[in-house]
Structure 1
Amino acid sequence: MLQQQKQIKFSNYSELYDLLVPQDHLLRSITELVDFSFVYDELKDKYCSYNGRMAEDPIRMFKYLLLKTIYSISDVDVVKRTLTDLSFKYFLGLCPEETNLIDPSLLSKFRRQRLKDTKIMDMLIKKTVCVALEKGIIQSKRFFVDATHSLSRSNSVNATDYLTYQMEQTTRIVHSINESFKLPELPDLHRLSEKKKFPVVLSTAVDYVAAVEAAPPLVAMPAVSERLNLLKEIIADAKIRYVTSKDPDARIGHKTKSRSFFGYKTHLVMSEERIIVAADVTSGEADDGKMLERLVEKTEENGVEIDTILGDTAYSSKANLDMINDKNENENKDIKLCSPLNPVISNGTRKGATFDYNKDAGMFVCPAGHMAVSRSKPQQKTNVPGKYHNPVIVFSFDVERCKVCPLREGCYKPGAKKKTYSVRVLANTHKKQMEYEKTSEFVYLQRKRYMIEAKNAELKNVFGYDRAMSYGLASMELQGAMAIFAANLKRIIRIM
């Protein structure tokens, strides 16, 4: 239950704040800049209004989380430091002599219970954008768009190795109860290539489960049934993706053809004043370009007018160019998309295609998340002498994965020795954008893209956004919201 009226505490030592907390201190500046009552208005429905003991002030709890982000410390350390740091006490609205602080575990409950099912990222970004607009800081109509990756808290485990490990553990438990019980022998993987190991292990695991379930007395044992249920879950998960992890929402993304990461992506829109005006968090395999329309909508909802969007080749797809053109025609605007065309994406892909193009790796990714292993040079194919069709680029996929893919129906023909995906290069589709690329304005604007790369580095190196602090997409969104909120506030204070 929340207090209906805020209690004002008087202290004989309040003058210490004026003496020991400088006027230009970051926490004093944030306190004077932001009215945190919006946190109370947003979260008051998360508390019971008539029952239960008095809850900790949600504004103060939120400020604890902000301190954690700004100073990159743990729950325990932020409470411990508050006991001796007057700047922390000033920011939290505590008396200098206050020693009765919260238990650090309350911060975890606050994150999981009070901030659950709230659009925390949109709320915090909108608040900082409103402050920046009120102070006259955001004046430019040019905005940068980019995506930065964050690693999952836990590493991914190869499904082949994990299935083998779980079968070994199940064997140990079954034989501890009945030494004579016969189970399928684990396959010898040393002579198999990496591509052929997974189908063999997966088939063995399925036979393994069937063999144990055929013996009801064994399944009735709690130790065996628990291990067997776990093995079933791993098999079901392995059929969908080739890696497993404690983080259920993290996925494999690709930075280059040979370099991947396991985690999440944060898609950002930043003004020329280096204020982040919109953001969204997705799993690591998400296509950067497909997020542009959603980011533009969020930017406009925050009260910002867009004139130019600057991005890399991931945002120059035909769908995005058409979206900008439609927006200009329907809403009488003149938005420019300053994004270099990609030799493949620039010319349009197949209509209705569900394959996504990864601009970092230069490869297509199928709906199951598997990346093409090779691509051909542009080829001109025609059966009519003297006639030439538009060039076609052929992307080849690992057929061994396609054979056991749960989405193979309608995509992979049983018995086929290869799986390819062809894209026709339509050189005339983006003629207008190609002409724009040759202008001095385009070249000048592209030179400014370093700004958002610097902002990505700041979020990771200063606010610890290079790795997730907890599991799940919701936790990643909260971490991103706090990091962006802190970064925006610091930038506003610096400009002022």
Structure 2
Amino acid sequence: MSPEEEVINSSSLTKVRKLQLKDTDLLNLLINKTVSVAIEKGVIRSKSIIVDAVDATHTLSRTNPFSALAVLRKRSKLLRKTIYSYEESWKERMPKKNTDNDLQKELSYCKELGRVIEQDETINAIPAIKEKLNLLKETVEDTQENITSAKDAVSKTGYKSVDNPFFGNKTHLAMTEERIISAAGNLWRERRWSGTPQAH
């Protein structure tokens, strides 16, 4: 992209993730192809593999530890709060919140909230509000597509620090002496990832 070009629309990334990255084994496929080409071209000559077993990249899980209902409520609340910071009088114009623990009712509420906001061109033109609205709309769309999300048996709640938890795992890399990545895997450890590795 040149500096003059507009920034890519965030929804494009969502579409790529949904439509083109369905193969969960895509990373291994790409790594295998890269290593094959590197061997064929003579880039890899060493016989040793370096494995990062101490420090690893924290990777967020693709699944969410929170329920779809909780995520929708959190994002609609964030949107309302952002609107009130610009125009407090909007409290009177908001649709009635869903108080039941019913996902379908929450989806209906979020759609109605989005519809009401989009009708007002002035408030909808504010970038901070537009961003929160788009996030809520994408969440509604994702929730409708996957009413029941797949369980993630590998991911755990880990801690980067005492006050900074996240749901995911640790990605460890194996590479050749030429610094070509030859494998990647997820590892989680019991109790804040300290001690002996429990799963791979």
TM-score, normalising length: structure 2 = 0.51
Counterparts of 2:99 and 2:38 in 1: how far apart (Å)?
A: 60
Structure 1 equivalent of residue 176 of structure 2: none
> Which of 21, 38, 62 is equivalent to 1:44?
38
Aligned match for 1:184, one of 78, 85, 95: 95
* Equivalent residue, structure 2, for 1:163: 72
Question: Which letter maps to 1:42?
Answer: S
Matches within 5 A, 1:29-40: none
AA at the equivalent of 2:135: L
Q: How many residues get paired?
A: 126
| 1:286 corresponds to | none
Per-residue CA distance 1:456-478 (angstroms, 9 max, x = gap): xxxxxxxxxxx7435xxxxxx83
How far is the alpha carbon of 1:223 from its aligned partner?
Answer: 0.1
Structure 2 CA distance for partners of 1:185 and 1:45, relative to 1, 3 Å: farther
Identity %: 19
Letter in 2 for 1:175: Y
Measure, in 1, the Cα distance between the counterparts of 2:89 and 2:40.
57
Corresponding residue for residue 170 of structure 2: 469
Superposed CA deviations along residues 162-219 of structure 1, whole A, max 9, x for unmatched, are 1111111100111111111211121222xxxx5xx11111100000000000001111
Of structures 1 and 2, the one scoring higher in RCO (CA 8 A, sep 6+) is: 2
> Is 1:262 equivalent to 2:173 in the alignment?
no
1:201-220 equivalent positions in 2, closer than 5 A:
201-220=106-125
Paired residue for 2:145?
A: 240
Structure 1 residue 43, shift from structure 2 partner:
3.7
1:396-448, Cα deviation, whole Å (9 max, x unpaired):
xxxxxxxxxxxxxxxxxxxxxxxxxxxxxxxxxxxxxxxxxxxxxxxxxxxxx
Match of 1:227 in 2: 132
Distance 1:183 1:215 in 2: 12
SS of the residue corresponding to residue 78 of structure 2 reads helix
The structure-2 alpha-carbon separation of the partners of 1:46 and 1:205, relative to structure 1 and needing over 3 Å to count, comes to: farther
Deviation at 1:240, TM superposition (A): 1.6
1:390-409 aligned at under 5 Å gives the runs: none
Query: Deviations along 1:70-92, whole A, 9 cap, x unmatched?
Result: xx3225xxxxxxxxxxxxxxxxx
| Corresponding residue SS for 2:152 | strand
CA–CA distance in 2 between the matches of 1:39 and 1:211? 49
CA apart distance, 1:159: 0.8
SS in structure 1 at match of 2:88: coil
What SS is found at the alignment partner of 1:180? helix
CA distance in 2, matches of 1:63, 1:187: 55
CA 1:45–1:236 in 2, change beyond 3 Å: closer, same or farther?
A: farther
- Is this contact kept in 2: 1:158–1:242, CA < 8 A? no
C-alpha distance in structure 2 between counterparts of 1:178 and 1:234, whole Å: 24
Distance 1:164 1:46 in 2: 53
Q: Distance in 2 between matches of 1:224 and 1:201?
A: 20
Counterpart amino acid of 1:187? N
Equivalence map 1:125-204=2 (5 Å): 152=61, 155-181=64-90, 182-189=93-100, 194=101, 197-204=102-109
Equivalent residue number for residue 49 of structure 2: 63
- Cα distance, 1:227 vs structure 2: 0.5
Q: Secondary structure at the match of 1:208?
A: helix
The alpha-carbon distance between structure 1 residues 58 and 217, as it changes in their structure 2 partners (threshold 3 A), is: farther
Q: Helix, strand or coil: the match of 1:469?
A: strand
Structure 2 residues not aligned, in runs of 5+: 1-31, 155-167, 172-182, 187-200
1:479 match: 185
**One-letter amino acid matched to 2:185:** Q
- Identify if the C-alpha distance between structure 1 residues 44 and 231 changes in structure 2 by more than 3 Å, giving closer, same or farther: same
Q: Compared with structure 1, are the counterparts of its residues 174 and 42 closer, same or farther at alpha carbon in structure 2 (3 Å cutoff)?
A: same
Which whole-Å deviations, capped at 9, do the CAs of 1:89-115 have from their partners, x for residues lacking one?
xxxxxxxxxxxxxxxxxxx8xxxxxxx
- The CA distance in 1 between the partners of 2:170 and 2:139, in whole Å, is 24
Structure 1 stretches lacking a partner, 5+ long: 1-37, 50-56, 76-107, 109-150, 244-250, 253-260, 265-466, 471-476, 481-496
Amino acid across the alignment from 2:54: I
Taking structure 1 as reference, are residues 174 and 63 closer, same or farther at Cα in structure 2, changes over 3 Å only?
same
Please identify the structure whose Cα radius of gyration is greater: 1
CA distance in 2, matches of 1:207, 1:46: 57
- Tell me the amino acid that sits aligned with residue 223 of structure 1: A
Counterpart-to-counterpart distance in 1, 2:54 and 2:140: 38
Q: Which string of whole-angstrom CA distances, capped at 9 and with x for unpartnered residues, describes residues 269-320 of structure 1?
A: xxxxxxxxxxxxxxxxxxxxxxxxxxxxxxxxxxxxxxxxxxxxxxxxxxxx
User: Does the aligned pair in 1 maintain the 2:39–2:45 contact within 8 Å?
Assistant: no
- CA distance in 1: counterparts of 2:119 and 2:86, whole angstroms: 16
Structure 1 letter corresponding to 2:49 = K
Distance (Å, rounded) in 2 between the aligned partners of 1:169 and 1:209: 13
State the distance in 2 between where 1:168 and 1:234 align.
Answer: 13
